[in-house]
Amino acid sequence: MSSALPEQQTWSAEGYDRNARFVSDLGAQILSWLAPRAGERILDLGCGDGALTARIAASGADVVGVDVSEALLAAARARGLDVRNGEATALPFENEFDAVFSNAVLHWVREPALAASGIRRALKRGGRFVAEFGGHGNVAAVVTALRAAADRFGGRADLTAPWFYPTAAEYRVLLEGAGLDVRRIELVARPTPLPTGIEGWLRTFRQPFFDQFGPERRGEVLAWVVALLKPALCDTAGQWTADYVRLRVEAVAA
């Protein structure tokens, strides 16, 4: 999403490919929960650059992707996919899809009840919602280090962790309130190796936090956060592993 506001997350297709390709590579498990079939109409909510959308399309399903980032949508269009710009909280679809799928996106959505009601509306009765995203305790070490940095360097606490990480119980209640019957839901630790270390992760996913310190100080703050996290997340061989916790859910439109 491109924006003039410094506190907003922005995406670059090239940066995402370099630092975060593992996000779609690790989508195999939740894709297996979706089990797309030829002829189904499926919405990929937060399709990004379309890596998983293309895998769903390869099953013979008719897939539509939605995302807020024009940069990532351009990369998805280059794969020949039908993708549109749109917010998870303002889905324009009604009674249209056999399934709504979402991987590693819903933790960015600050009004999850609005997203859930739009998902329910987009589904045909009996259609399924299958999603994976960060759950309670996700990247807890990283969040704590950012809070410590905000405290030490006088940064804004609200820029440390703008994410929604519910427990399974909390999310079940939220979905059922939107008319989605939960069939299975699990919260699982999934330690995730980072190909470009924690610095690549922080630059890709939390740049607005560092930008608030301006060009003179942001490098210093980033180096301080990396040093604080090193004993917890970097092994003796130099491999960084993030403390990911995934919430996986399958629910059906009542």
Note the residues at the interface with ligand BEZ (CB under 6 A). Answer: 104, 107, 134, 138-139, 163, 205, 244
Q: Which of 14, 20, 44, 15 is nearest to 31 (CA)?
A: 44
Q: How far is the CB of 107 from ligand BEZ (least distance, A)?
A: 5
Q: Which residue is nearest to ligand BEZ (CB)?
A: 134
117 versus 160: smaller Cβ distance to ligand BEZ? 160
Torsion region of 124: left, alpha or beta (phi above 0 gives left; psi -120 to 50 gives alpha): beta
Q: How far is the CB of 62 from ligand BEZ (least distance, A)?
A: 27
163 versus 213: smaller Cβ distance to ligand BEZ? 163
- Rg (the chain; Cα; Å): 18
Q: What angle do CA 45, 174, 29 make, to 5 degrees?
A: 45
202 versus 253: smaller Cβ distance to ligand BEZ? 202
**By the 8 A CB rule, do 223 and 155 touch?**
no
Q: What angle do CA 105, 66, 124 make, to 5 degrees?
A: 95
45 versus 123: smaller Cβ distance to ligand BEZ? 45
Q: How far is the CB of 143 from ligand BEZ (least distance, A)?
A: 9
162/24 Cα distance (integer angstroms): 21
Q: How far is the CB of 98 from ligand BEZ (least distance, A)?
A: 26
Q: DSSP state, 100?
A: E
Q: How far is the CB of 214 from ligand BEZ (least distance, A)?
A: 23
64 versus 139: smaller Cβ distance to ligand BEZ? 139
